[in-house]
Amino acid sequence: MPRFAANLTLLFTEVPVLQRADLAAQAGFDGVEVLFPYDHPAAEWEKALGSMPVALINTPPGNWGAGERGFAAVPGQEDRFRDGFLRAAEVANRLKAQHIHIMAGVAKGPEAEQCFRENLTWACARAPGQKLTVEPINPDDMPGYFLNDFDQAARILQDVGLPQIGLQFDLWHAARIHGNAATVWATHRDRVSHVQIAGFPQRHEPGGGGFDLTALCREIDSLDRDIWVAAEYRPLRATVHGLMWLAALKGRARMIGA
């Protein structure tokens, strides 16, 4: 049965972020992910998380309000990427985060791709025991983001050739980019190391859009890899009142494993 993580950046926003892990545990989640755990010291996060595992954090994005979205594929910003990655690696080590998602940034063209490849290779060498992911993000939500296509991401991972880096499959972005998330999953699932789910066509509670989440959980089991299924969506109401999907998936997963 896959493990389910709550994205503490988007869920349980009814309380301050350091109180959200407790609510996630009470709601039945097995762990958490945090997009940018840099506004609080790692010691505060350790206390707040307790025994809840951390599935994933992101590298620092830079000045979000100014449009920065990471630096891994931004030529001329290699030092900023590497400083940010070292900070992320330190936090991931403290919090025992399974994955660091490497944010590519706003860039385009062959020079940006070469920069991305070199920075991915550098990051793997700098933190050899840390699992990394890359995530294609749709251009409507993040205009100009370098990594905006799953086929593009798969080709880059193939060329880099380092098993330490996996593909982050976000159902929302896959559907927005390619139209059919199920086809994207079928094509690229062997590279996937982390999964994020949300409803479609609205990014609310998971479900809809013609994507069978029960089948997804079954296939994750069949891959025999430690893949988290993270809830990354915008709740329609208080998070705890919209978690029927979690109870249903966990119940069906137990039936599948019985």
Q: Domain limits of the chain? A: 3-257
Give residue 240's pLDDT. 95
Overall fold of domain 3-257: TIM Barrel (3.20.20)
Q: What is the mean pLDDT of residues 80-93?
A: 98
Q: Are 166 and 133 in contact (CB under 8 A)?
A: yes
Alpha-carbon distance values, 203 to 71, 105, 135, 172 (Å)? 26, 22, 17, 7
Peptide bond into 75 cis (omega under 30): no
Q: Are 99 and 129 in contact (CB under 8 A)?
A: no
Q: Evaluate if residue 247 carries a pLDDT over 80.
A: yes
Give residue 257's pLDDT. 46
- What global pTM score does this model have? 0.95
Q: What is the mean pLDDT of residues 195-215?
A: 91
Q: Evaluate if residue 252 carries a pLDDT over 70.
A: no
Q: What is the mean pLDDT of residues 50-60?
A: 97
Q: Which of 224 and 133 is assigned the larger pLDDT? A: 133
Which residues carry out catalysis?
135, 232
Q: Are 252 and 190 in contact (CB under 8 A)?
A: no
